[in-house]
């Protein structure tokens, strides 16, 4: 068969963003395979990428701006009419209630972060700081700990799984969730190498656990007691790295005192793991030539989220496996996905903005979606009244779907920007159609690699559908309608045209323009898009905001950028890097660091790791007296399991799944026997928050008393009823970590009852 064209792009389903080669035949992805030229994935893909046509082409794609009518139906409206009305309503809300009445939710999924530079400007236009997104639902406990240990919440860690002799996977299943370079190949390499060891700590015998040399199948929610027992074993046996601790860390003595009081046997009993196995792993990890820890939502969405993040980092810090090959390291960022907002430190002389109801502060600049419904629904005058949702579907993906529905229905203004008619869009006053990720210039900010980091600016492969627009155009038009920026910048535009080969001259002119109009400063992305953008090759206007980021990156990591093959002096290196990004259809290596550079990425003033975090030591002490909570809900549901055919919400057409169309609930055979259930039985699953129906699959990979459900289900397609389990009908926003407010999705107490045929 002859194809119209073959293009390079990337998979947008998980944070790996593997490089792809795609054969396109009349608007459809006829064939998808790995791209060998991609600098990181080098041709690797998993089975999910092959189904991407189900994202690009399906019946719920949005093509026109829609306005909700009083009867709940939607009417197609022109862009100009929609944006004029939205702008007027936003300005009126800001005028009457102040900027704090506005919040922004989302702003990018796994592969679409470039639009975020533009969408966040609406926050500045509204004079609000309230941005809520999925990082605040999952990762902020980890960011908080990083801030205390390494001096900044932007000090994000990575793990050199490919080179470690001893790899500890805690609460993650890379075989299905990926998250590490070329996951399945990497796991196979470890498995077949007799000199390397793979350990999995997980309540389920996952696909990764089946490949591991050792699997510690702990009781759900006991990660903190198990890891702290391992730390105590390491210390009591003198297996910690004294030289590293003395040269690179502070606070060890305080920490040591606490860890030595840990009752190892009791904690190991609580985790329900044989002591000998725990000792073997602690000793193996500490005495290996190199060892690293990879964690994920399994410990970030369960009891003690933030404490878990602290303890897992102590494993590699106490053993000196940090800042070295085969250990854990820090990495650079090109796109600033998060900031640093330490609740103890005022910013620009002002305390951090806390939310009106929960008085929650941001972490990494992000507020937790878990509290958003309360911030809308509380009766105070200072409640949220307008919300913009971008590339996100909070009604299905965040805890407590019922509360989200109630909250969003009560808003004065809800605007959703998305490629498809989501459950959240159905509640919106306006739904604005965005071009798909293959119809515009796009990029992922998940370039989190070390020592070699990369960036992939993806070129559009197809024309946008109908009237849909890329987000930069949507938000720039909105700012113009709000009167925040002019519609034309004649001088700057002319300067950009005349000096199209010397962007530094343009940047100088831009700096002069901004010095004369300081109020434009927060909207520089749109100003560059309108002025520098049209001069960029191949219509890459959206990428104009990358120029200052590339310059800042080259300035900060000059030696590493040069090591990656880019050349130029102090002023031109960033420009050359920018040009390489524009030209690199398969992505470009940004920098090659040396392992010792981890110490230059640390942000503490003394460049040492600050091990003793008072709040965490207090949490650690509290574990000793923690009593198991009595409950009428005998099962623990681990919600959000990653499987062969689930992904995030961007696959809405259920036809994409080859197996597990119902999203079955896994249940141990003993439990199924007790409840008199066979494979395929219908059951009711009830939590303190809600009730859903599920289909049972008997599966001895789960512990007795534990059941699991996948994420990525529960959406409607072509006006259907929700398809598969709506797990967030069961989750409760109040059941969450006290520091980060991230919900305990992996520890949902539930009651399960067999349904007879009539009720099912
Ligand atoms: S590993 Fe992730 S990014 Fe790569 S093909 Fe699979 S889902 Fe896509």
SS3 for 285-336 is: HHHCCCEEEEECHHHHCCCCHHHHHHHHHHHHHHCCCECCCCCEEECCCCCC
Vertex 335: Cα angle to 445 and 94 (nearest 5)? 100
Q: Looking at the CA of residue 183, tell me the nearest atom of ligand 1.
A: 1
Of 107, 32, 59, nearest to 461 (Cα)? 32
573-583 helix and 503-516 helix, angle to the nearest 10 degrees: 110
Instruction: Using the mean position of ligand 1's atoms as its centre, give its distance from the Cα of residue 10 in Å.
Output: 9
- At 478, list the tokens: 């909105």
The Cα–Cα gap between 186 and 175 comes to 9
Instruction: Using the mean position of ligand 1's atoms as its centre, give its distance from the Cα of residue 218 in Å.
Output: 28
- CATH fold, domain 630-754, is Barwin-like endoglucanases (2.40.40)
Query: How far, rounded to the nearest angstrom, does the alpha carbon of residue 364 sit from its chain's CA centroid?
Result: 13
Vertex 195: Cα angle to 192 and 196 (nearest 5)? 70
Supply the pLDDT for residue 544: 97
Q: Atom 6 (ligand 1): residue with closest C-alpha?
A: 46
Instruction: Using the mean position of ligand 1's atoms as its centre, give its distance from the Cα of residue 694 in Å.
Output: 28
The Cα–Cα gap between 527 and 511 comes to 12
The answer to whether the CB of 18 is under 6 A from ligand 1 is yes
**Which of 10, 13, 111 to mutate to test ligand 1, by most ligand atoms within 8 A of the CB atom?**
13
Q: Structural domain boundaries of the chain? A: 5-56, 61-154+337-442, 157-330, 630-754
The burial class, CB within 10 Å (0-12 / 13-18 / 19+), for 346 is: exposed
Supply the pLDDT for residue 632: 81
357-376 b/e (C-beta count within 10 Å ≥ 16 → b): bbebbbbbbbbbbbbbbbbb
The answer to whether the CB of 180 is under 6 A from ligand 1 is no
Instruction: Using the mean position of ligand 1's atoms as its centre, give its distance from the Cα of residue 626 in Å.
Output: 40
The superfamily in CATH containing domain 157-330 is: Dimethylsulfoxide Reductase, domain 2 (3.40.228.10)
Residue with tokens 């922004």: 104
For the chain (760 residues), the mean pLDDT of every run of 10, in chain order, is 80 96 95 97 96 96 97 97 98 97 94 94 97 96 98 97 98 96 97 97 98 98 98 98 98 98 98 98 98 97 97 98 98 94 85 94 97 97 97 97 98 98 97 97 94 97 97 98 97 94 92 96 98 95 97 97 96 96 97 96 97 98 85 92 90 94 97 97 97 98 98 94 96 95 97 88
The Cα–Cα gap between 217 and 311 comes to 18
The answer to whether the CB of 16 is under 6 A from ligand 1 is yes
The Cα–Cα gap between 470 and 434 comes to 5
Residue with tokens 């010095």: 515
- At 342, list the tokens: 């330490």
Instruction: Using the mean position of ligand 1's atoms as its centre, give its distance from the Cα of residue 368 in Å.
Output: 26
The answer to whether the CB of 46 is under 6 A from ligand 1 is yes
Side-chain-facing half-sphere of 159: CA atoms under 13 Å: 25
φ/ψ bin of 365: left (φ > 0), alpha (ψ from -120 to 50), beta (otherwise):
left
Name residues whose C-beta falls within 8 Å of residue 135's C-beta, 6 or more positions apart in sequence: 143, 337, 338, 364, 366
Instruction: Using the mean position of ligand 1's atoms as its centre, give its distance from the Cα of residue 17 in Å.
Output: 6
Instruction: Using the mean position of ligand 1's atoms as its centre, give its distance from the Cα of residue 35 in Å.
Output: 12
Q: Which CATH code is given to the segment(s) 61-154+337-442? A: 3.40.50.740
The answer to whether the CB of 14 is under 6 A from ligand 1 is yes
- At 301, list the tokens: 């969405």
Three-state secondary structure call for residue 166: strand
Q: Atom 2 (ligand 1): residue with closest C-alpha?
A: 14
Instruction: Using the mean position of ligand 1's atoms as its centre, give its distance from the Cα of residue 399 in Å.
Output: 25
Instruction: Using the mean position of ligand 1's atoms as its centre, give its distance from the Cα of residue 114 in Å.
Output: 19
Q: Which CATH code is given to the segment(s) 5-56? A: 3.30.200.210
Q: Looking at the CA of residue 10, tell me the nearest atom of ligand 1.
A: 3
Instruction: Using the mean position of ligand 1's atoms as its centre, give its distance from the Cα of residue 15 in Å.
Output: 8
Q: Atom 5 (ligand 1): residue with closest C-alpha?
A: 45
- At 570, list the tokens: 């102090």
- At 343, list the tokens: 């609740």
The answer to whether the CB of 113 is under 6 A from ligand 1 is no
Type and span of the H or E element at 21: strand 19-25
**Which of 20, 44, 46 to mutate to test ligand 1, by most ligand atoms within 8 A of the CB atom?**
46
Q: Looking at the CA of residue 647, tell me the nearest atom of ligand 1.
A: 7
The backbone torsions φ and ψ at residue 429, rounded to the nearest 5 degrees and listed phi first, read -75, -35
């Amino acid at each position: 068969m002859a194809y119209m064209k073959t293009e390079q792009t990337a998979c947008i389903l998980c944070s790996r963003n593997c490089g792809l080669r795609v054969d396109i035949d009349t608007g459809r992805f006829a064939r998808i395979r790995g791209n060998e030229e991609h600098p990181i994935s080098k041709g690797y893909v998993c089975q999910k990428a092959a189904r991407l046509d189900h994202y690009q082409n399906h019946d719920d794609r949005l093509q026109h701006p829609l306005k909700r009518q009083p009867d709940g139906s939607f009417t197609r409206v022109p862009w100009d009419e929609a944006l004029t009305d939205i702008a007027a309503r936003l300005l009126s809300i800001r005028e009457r209630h102040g900027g704090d009445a506005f919040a922004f939710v989302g702003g990018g999924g796994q592969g679409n972060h470039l639009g975020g530079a533009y969408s966040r400007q609406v926050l500045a236009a509204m004079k609000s700081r309230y941005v809520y997104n999925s990082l605040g639902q999952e990762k902020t406990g980890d960011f908080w700990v990083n801030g205390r240990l390494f001096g900044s919440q932007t000090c994000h860690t990575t793990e050199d799984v490919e080179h470690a002799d001893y790899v500890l996977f805690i609460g993650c299943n890379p075989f299905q969730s990926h998250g590490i370079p070329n996951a399945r190949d990497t796991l196979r390499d470890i498995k077949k190498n007799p000199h390397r060891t793979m350990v999995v700590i997980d309540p389920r015998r996952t696909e990764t656990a089946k490949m591991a040399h050792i699997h510690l199948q702990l009781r759900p929610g006991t990660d903190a007691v198990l890891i702290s027992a391992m730390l105590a074993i390491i210390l009591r046996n003198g297996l910690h790295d004294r030289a590293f601790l003395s040269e690179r860390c502070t606070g060890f003595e305080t920490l040591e005192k606490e860890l030595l009081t840990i009752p190892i046997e009791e904690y190991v009993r609580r985790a329900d793991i044989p002591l000998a196995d725990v000792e073997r792993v602690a000793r193996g990890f500490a005495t290996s030539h190199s060892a690293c820890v990879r964690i994920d939502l399994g410990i970030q969405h369960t009891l003690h989220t933030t404490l878990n993040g602290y303890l897992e980092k102590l494993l590699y810090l106490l053993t000196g496996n940090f800042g070295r090959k085969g250990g854990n390291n820090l990495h650079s960022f090109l796109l600033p996905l998060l900031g640093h907002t330490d609740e103890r430190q005022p910013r620009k002389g002002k305390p951090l903005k806390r939310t009106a109801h929960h008085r929650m502060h941001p972490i990494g600049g992000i507020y937790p979606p878990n509290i958003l419904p309360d911030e809308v629904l509380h009766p105070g005058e200072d409640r949220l009244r307008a919300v913009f949702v971008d590339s996100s579907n909070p009604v299905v993906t965040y805890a407590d779907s019922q509360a989200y529905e109630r909250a969003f229905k009560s808003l004065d203004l809800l605007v959703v920007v998305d490629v498809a008619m989501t459950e959240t869009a159905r509640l919106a006053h306006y739904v604005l159609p965005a071009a798909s990720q293959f119809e515009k210039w796009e990029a992922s900010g998940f370039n989190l690699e070390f020592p070699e980091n990369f960036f992939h600016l993806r070129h559009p492969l197809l024309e946008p559908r109908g009237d849909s627009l890329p987000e930069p155009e949507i938000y720039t038009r909105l700012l113009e309608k709000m009167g925040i920026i002019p519609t034309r910048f004649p001088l700057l535009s002319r300067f950009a045209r005349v000096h199209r080969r010397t962007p530094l001259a343009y940047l100088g002119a831009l700096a002069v323009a901004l010095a004369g109009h300081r109020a434009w400063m927060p909207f520089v992305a749109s100003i560059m898009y309108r002025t520098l953008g049209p001069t960029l090759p191949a219509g890459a206007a959206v990428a104009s905001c990358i120029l200052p980021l590339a310059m800042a990156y080259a300035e900060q990591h000059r030696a590493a950028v040069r090591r990656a093959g880019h050349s130029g002096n102090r002023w031109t290196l960033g420009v050359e890097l920018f040009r390489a990004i524009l030209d690199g259809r398969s992505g470009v290596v940004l920098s090659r660091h040396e392992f010792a550079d981890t110490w230059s990425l640390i942000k503490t003033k003394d460049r040492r790791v600050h091990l003793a975090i008072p709040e965490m030591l207090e949490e650690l002490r509290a574990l000793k007296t923690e009593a198991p909570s009595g409950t009428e809900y005998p099962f623990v549901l681990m919600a959000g399991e990653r499987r062969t055919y689930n992904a995030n919400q961007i696959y809405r057409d259920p036809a994409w799944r080859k197996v597990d169309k119902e999203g079955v609930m896994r249940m141990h055979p003993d439990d199924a026997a007790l409840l008199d259930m066979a494979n395929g039985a219908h059951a009711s699953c009830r939590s303190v928050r809600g009730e859903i129906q599920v289909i049972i699959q008997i599966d001895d990979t789960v512990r007795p008393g534990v059941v699991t459900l996948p994420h990525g289900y529960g959406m409607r397609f072509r006006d259907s009823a929700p398809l598969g389990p709506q797990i967030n009908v069961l989750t409760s926003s109040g059941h969450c970590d006290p520091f980060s407010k991230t919900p305990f999705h992996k520890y949902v107490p539930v009651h399960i009852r067999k349904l007879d045929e009539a009720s099912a």
